[in-house]
Amino acid sequence: MDNNARWVEMLPWYSGYWVSDDGRIWSDYNGRELKPKIDHGYYRMSLMNVYGPPRQRFVLVNRVVCWHFNGPYPDDGEDYQAAHLDCDKNNNNWWNLEWQTPAENSNHPVTRARNSAAQLAHFARRRRMFNSEWLAAYRAEHGLTRTELAELTGFGASTLHYWETGRRAPYRANLHKLAEALGVPVETLLH
């Protein structure tokens, strides 16, 4: 394992395996990084499940990374996919993945339009520029709950949750509404 990436031990039923925030998997059993196989364009790996009777199981790398670095998918009975925000199935960085329903995933603007390189660059730049931690800090500093800030701005509380956790980033017009509601300059919400 190298120190350039953040590594976490995988869930208990895959003990002895580590996953990095950039989509690599390390095996304590082999003492090396595992090489993924490609299945329908997605990286997958064969891991030994040690929970219950040991057996080999194939896992999709994007789902493993999304689970460990973005949290488990919502438990609302829907089927969720670990969607690649830039539509590059080989880009398994944690910041490029989010849980989406199949309808959301197929209806994602980047998926739907296969936008030009300039539009993709703008989307990635917008996510990198926005500082989600500062939004949460300013909201807490003003003693507002997410619901109260949602009422002030007209955004949904779930939208604010996604912005505060860094899963999504607001457009510039929405940044102005947030800054106005919090009484801070727009630049304070950017890196």
Q: Express each pLDDT in 140-163 by its tens digit.
A: 888 999 999 999 888 888 889 988
CATH of the domain at 142: 1.10.260.40
At residue 111, the pLDDT reads: 56
Q: Is residue 78 part of a domain?
A: no
Q: Is residue 55 part of a domain?
A: no
Q: Is 138 left (phi over 0), alpha (psi -120 to 50) or beta?
A: alpha
Residue range 131-144: mean pLDDT, rounded:
87
Q: Is residue 43 part of a domain?
A: no
Q: Is residue 124 part of a domain?
A: no
Q: What value does the mean pLDDT of the chain take?
A: 83
| pLDDT tens-digit map of 18-46 | 999 999 999 988 899 999 999 888 999 98
Number of domains in the chain: 1
Q: Which residues contact 105 (CB under 8 A, 6 or more apart)?
A: 81, 83, 111
User: For residue 74, is pLDDT > 90?
Assistant: no
Q: Is residue 105 part of a domain?
A: no
At residue 124, the pLDDT reads: 62
147 vs 121, 144, 157, CA distance in Å? 32, 8, 5
Which domain, by its residues, includes 179? 130-183
Q: Is residue 25 part of a domain?
A: no
Residue 14 carries which DSSP code? G
Q: Is 16 left (phi over 0), alpha (psi -120 to 50) or beta?
A: left
34 vs 7, 55, 64, 104, CA distance in Å? 14, 17, 14, 31
Q: Is residue 156 part of a domain?
A: yes
Q: Is residue 154 part of a domain?
A: yes
How many CA atoms within 13 Å lie on the side-chain side of 23? 22
Q: b vs e for 69-88, b when ≥16 Cβ sit within 10 Å of the residue's Cβ?
A: bbeebeeeeeebbbbbbbbe
| pLDDT tens-digit map of 76-87 | 777 899 998 887
